[in-house]
Structure 1
Amino acid sequence: MWGSSGGYLGIAAITGDENGVAIISVSDEGIASTEIPLFLQIAVQQLQEYFDSKRTDFTFLLNPKRTEFQQKVWKSLVNIPFGKTITYLEQSKGLGDVKAIRAVASANGKNPLWIVVPCHRVIGSDGSLTGYAGGIWRKKWLLEHENPTTQQSLF
């Protein structure tokens, strides 16, 4: 999978059915399929638009299978604006329990919907890029893709 700003992130695997996308993951191994089921085509299209810098949110149906707590945590991730970040502590506070920071971080780590449920937008309290199942280098790439630094002109 290529982004418009260059760089290979890996092969995305999308799993789902007529009820929605259940899993989007990325790995360094695999073979890209040219046969995409009709009910997954919108997800593939929207992800490509994201990588082409033409999309900042997703509208296709999601259907992840997890616990009620995980669902609550993931729902809060969708509210983080494109190009912005929050800390795990801020996310825990937003969910109403600052003491649940480890459980929130754990739920983020089990997020099955890469990019679409943007756990990559959650960072450490010190601004560090921590805790990303897809690899810190991918988290860094995604954050830079969403908030590219532009060279300022001196003239």
Structure 2
Amino acid sequence: MRHVMFVVGGLMLALFWAAAPPRAATTGTLEIASKTGVHSFSVEVVATDAEREKGLMYRRELPEGRGMLFDFQAEQPVAFWMKNTYIPLDMIFIRKDGRILRIAENTEPLSERLVPSGGPVLAVLEVIGGTAKKLGIAPGDRVSYPIFSGGK
């Protein structure tokens, strides 16, 4: 009988944990220093495989000045796609020192074409399409955020 109670208690605890809402993504303010000035973005930071896999899928809007920062926790080559993503995005690929390696501008919504980083990166910032051009953000510009060496 004691064994049955232990199993039932364990199952109830597992169901409780499964029903708990997922943890909210970390948020913060990220800055990019470009030739045209310093540009601030309010970002959601995603760092788990599940969070990165979902990303901005199924969202119908992304306000200017907002974005999603994908933290890979170690520098590596990465590739993204736009499957189930309804809005055009600029993908800003960032090295561990905070320097922008590459920008994929105005990526095509719903496309399954891979968008590669072009080299090892620590993170990718996704912002609404056209932002990089509008603000004069370019490869070599510096991104400030705590995950980058020299970040604040």
Compute the TM-score of the two structures, normalised by the length of structure 1.
0.29
With CA pairs under 8 Å and 6+ residues apart, which has the higher RCO, 1 or 2?
Answer: 2
Q: Which has the higher helix share?
A: 1
Q: Which has the higher strand share?
A: 2
Compute the TM-score of the two structures, normalised by the length of structure 2.
0.29
